[in-house]
A and B are shown apart, each in its own frame.
Chain A
């Protein structure tokens, strides 16, 4: 069921109870949890937080935790049938804040056990209750009523009675069959595309706002959660702008309320024009232009021509080459101030229109400014870091810590890791394009990543793999001569653990919407080819299969998508 009033329907029910919170391994969930943690701490609501990576993780942790009556799921569990998978006691209440769509219909129509903390979105097309659920007891009752009636009624001939009864039951069976077909069809249409809805951290921030405990720090976390959705291509830019407008009104309200006294420690959030270059404030301009997906693909920087175009662009902007190789904060003050405007002016000539965007930046006192996208890159790099001896849970805790103001050095460490990550991604893309490793398999393109090809194992983690795949596809489309490639989706296969490969499918470039049909496609392909596939992660566009089954799976996938 949907919870309409976040305060009375969610927060007030937590007071006095102990909550167990399951948080998914992604930046939006971590930001949402951080906001929730702040609220619960100040109301002395006891809680336990457990990070979960996938469906089997969630089941395992749920079975191990002792009985509790309030469970909060952040970015996990919305798209699976919770009651069936976890088998909870009837008096356990689940509050689900999940941006994965489509939400499982059993969760939506649950009476009171599963509560979704959101409103129905317009484009969701949730099937009606009658199309999916039907009282099957009716049939049995009617049959037994008829049979008892037939026994009592002697005068009417047995034959006619039986004929009438069989005719009715045949009609009923036909109705039932038609209804079931319609049901399957509706469910298939409903769950065909997987996409993302409103960011969980924005929803939890609303809870904070409704109980009047919001402040700028919580707002910043909500901003970071929302920006992650944009940067990892989970939502489209118009959805981002809508939600950003919402957060901007909160920002204006909270900034006015703030004490203007001690400007050394005051937090300032601004929403202003910015460039889409990743990490440019913490890096040199040249590196940033090289390694940002947008500029790299438009200028085709992996080729010699591309590099020359880049030099020309810098020359047109009036930035000396030596300065462009220096760190941004070490450049001349004049150049730094004018960089944004000059870039916009030259953008059209080089086909880079769209490089300007609006984004949130944070400034604490007189320290370094951080834009929301910088923070997102840093968090992703920290979350999926592959330093030896660090379990994924430690990475999770580090990422959680780096959001707090006191742990600024962690954020800086994350930014330098993010720089390495982006450089590695670009090098991989360059290799792939120059060696022509992308092949077409009919309806889709595919790329198989071998073990030795990637020198950085961080690239094989889910989020980084997603960034990599998108970059590779855009680069391929930019560099290929055929027009068809823009309309083809890409499936990438990467080693995940010994003998198991992680497959990810992304929709084609031509389609603006990030709606992904690969969830259902993978499922069908697995059925057809009898391959054991594990849909482990909550995002269904990822799937795990065994390495030896890969060819059979691909063949089946080709048939499904044709």
Chain B
């Protein structure tokens, strides 16, 4: 049946969840392209044969054309969805993707990602070095209220002042300084 292989590609993406990136299924892609080529050749031959208004092959041609369109749509959906997932992963992990994720990209996707990184870096440089990938939404406040979970010791702020991070003390610190410590687990953000 036509379009079964193309459907396999789509199923690949939906089964692995919205965030994960499965291995690039180049085998199935090649098979789909092969199927499309066969359908197109047959259609070409039938159209040539019935060039003198012979409408007996009209239905077959339409069917094959519909199958071609379907395959094309599935292929494009597969490729575009993968690119979107790669882009989201880049925003989550930074410009270098972890090993197992990087292994499931094909070379064109790798090239695409490099281009994307370059464009993003140029844009961020134009904004005076503001790193947009730190936060997905613009932060609501300049300073964060944090509670210290472990005895960390002296911590130096950007303007040279030192803060003693002792267990179970509450601090109000600028957002940029504490984000790193929050990620490490030393501080805990207290929402209002």
**Chain A interfacial positions (CB closer than 8 Å to B):** 18, 37, 40-41, 44-51, 64-66, 68, 391, 393-394, 396-397, 400, 404, 406
In the complex, are the beta carbons of B166 and A49 less than 8 A apart? no
In the complex, are the beta carbons of B171 and A393 less than 8 A apart? no
Rounded to whole angstroms, the CA-CA distance of A430 and B142 in the bound complex is 56
Rounded to whole angstroms, the CA-CA distance of A501 and B162 in the bound complex is 39
Label chain B's interface by main secondary structure.
strand
- Residue from the set A47, A394, A396 with the largest chain B CB neighbour count within 10 Å: A47
In the complex, are the beta carbons of B169 and A49 less than 8 A apart? yes
| Contact pattern, B 146-175, Cβ under 8 Å of A = 1, otherwise 0 | 010000001000000111101111111110
29 pairs of residues in contact across A and B, judged by CB atoms under 8 Å: A18-B163, A40-B172, A41-B192, A44-B141, A45-B172, A46-B174, A47-B171, A48-B163, A48-B164, A48-B170, A48-B171, A48-B172, A49-B170, A49-B171, A50-B166, A50-B169, A51-B168, A51-B169, A64-B164, A64-B166, A66-B154, A391-B168, A393-B167, A393-B168, A397-B170, A400-B170, A404-B192, A406-B191, A406-B192
B145 contacts partner chain A, Cβ-Cβ < 8 Å = yes
Q: Return the contact of A47 from the options B164, B172, B192 (Cβ within 8 A).
A: B172
Rounded to whole angstroms, the CA-CA distance of A47 and B171 in the bound complex is 6
Q: Assuming the A-B contacts A18-B161, A397-B147, are A46 and B169 also in contact, with contact meaning beta carbons closer than 8 angstroms in the complex?
A: no
In the complex, are the beta carbons of B169 and A41 less than 8 A apart? no
Rounded to whole angstroms, the CA-CA distance of A406 and B190 in the bound complex is 12
Rounded to whole angstroms, the CA-CA distance of A213 and B67 in the bound complex is 68
In the complex, are the beta carbons of A46 and B143 less than 8 A apart? yes
In the complex, are the beta carbons of A66 and B143 less than 8 A apart? no
Residues of B within 8 A of A396 (CB): 168
Residues of A within 8 A of B172 (CB): 37, 40-41, 44-48
CB distance from A395 to the nearest CB of B (A): 10
Residues of B within 8 A of A391 (CB): 168
Q: Which of B114-152 contact A (CB under 8 A)?
A: 141-143, 145, 147
Residues of A within 8 A of B168 (CB): 51, 391, 393-394, 396-397
Residue of B nearest to A69 (CB): B161
Residues of A within 8 A of B164 (CB): 48, 64-66
In the complex, are the beta carbons of B167 and A44 less than 8 A apart? no
What range describes how many residues of B lie at the interface? 20 to 34
Rounded to whole angstroms, the CA-CA distance of A48 and B192 in the bound complex is 17
Q: Assuming the A-B contacts A41-B145, A66-B154, are A46 and B166 also in contact, with contact meaning beta carbons closer than 8 angstroms in the complex?
A: no
CB distance from B173 to the nearest CB of A (A): 6
Rounded to whole angstroms, the CA-CA distance of A45 and B171 in the bound complex is 10
CB distance from B172 to the nearest CB of A (A): 5
CB distance from B192 to the nearest CB of A (A): 8
Residue of B nearest to A397 (CB): B168
Residues of B within 8 A of A64 (CB): 164, 166
Rounded to whole angstroms, the CA-CA distance of A11 and B161 in the bound complex is 21
Residues of A within 8 A of B161 (CB): 18, 66, 68
Known interface pairs A46-B172, A66-B154; 7 further A-B residue pairs with C-beta atoms within 8 A, sorted by A's residue number: A41-B143, A49-B171, A64-B166, A68-B161, A393-B168, A397-B147, A404-B192
CB distance from B72 to the nearest CB of A (A): 53
Rounded to whole angstroms, the CA-CA distance of A551 and B154 in the bound complex is 46
Rounded to whole angstroms, the CA-CA distance of A404 and B141 in the bound complex is 19
CB distance from A181 to the nearest CB of B (A): 45
CB distance from B184 to the nearest CB of A (A): 19
Residues of B within 8 A of A46 (CB): 143, 171-174
Residues of A within 8 A of B162 (CB): 66
- Residue from the set A37, A49, A51, A394 with the largest chain B CB neighbour count within 10 Å: A49
Rounded to whole angstroms, the CA-CA distance of A37 and B147 in the bound complex is 13
Closest 6 CB pairs of A and B: A393-B168, A66-B162, A49-B170, A48-B171, A44-B143, A47-B172
Residues of A within 8 A of B141 (CB): 41, 44
Residue of A nearest to B148 (CB): A48
CB distance from A364 to the nearest CB of B (A): 16
CB distance from B147 to the nearest CB of A (A): 7
CB distance from B164 to the nearest CB of A (A): 5
Residue of A nearest to B165 (CB): A48
Residues of B within 8 A of A40 (CB): 172
Residues of B within 8 A of A44 (CB): 141-143, 172
CB distance from A394 to the nearest CB of B (A): 7
Residue of A nearest to B162 (CB): A66
CB distance from B159 to the nearest CB of A (A): 9
Residue of B nearest to A48 (CB): B171
Residue of B nearest to A42 (CB): B141
CB distance from A74 to the nearest CB of B (A): 13
Rounded to whole angstroms, the CA-CA distance of A40 and B167 in the bound complex is 21
Residue of B nearest to A38 (CB): B192
Rounded to whole angstroms, the CA-CA distance of A64 and B152 in the bound complex is 13
Rounded to whole angstroms, the CA-CA distance of A188 and B140 in the bound complex is 55
Rounded to whole angstroms, the CA-CA distance of A7 and B44 in the bound complex is 87
Rounded to whole angstroms, the CA-CA distance of A484 and B155 in the bound complex is 61
CB distance from A49 to the nearest CB of B (A): 4
CB distance from B189 to the nearest CB of A (A): 12
Residues of B within 8 A of A37 (CB): 145, 170, 172
Residues of A within 8 A of B191 (CB): 406
Rounded to whole angstroms, the CA-CA distance of A523 and B31 in the bound complex is 95
In the complex, are the beta carbons of B143 and A48 less than 8 A apart? no
CB distance from A280 to the nearest CB of B (A): 32
Rounded to whole angstroms, the CA-CA distance of A394 and B169 in the bound complex is 10
- Residue from the set A48, A393, A396, A397 with the largest chain B CB neighbour count within 10 Å: A48
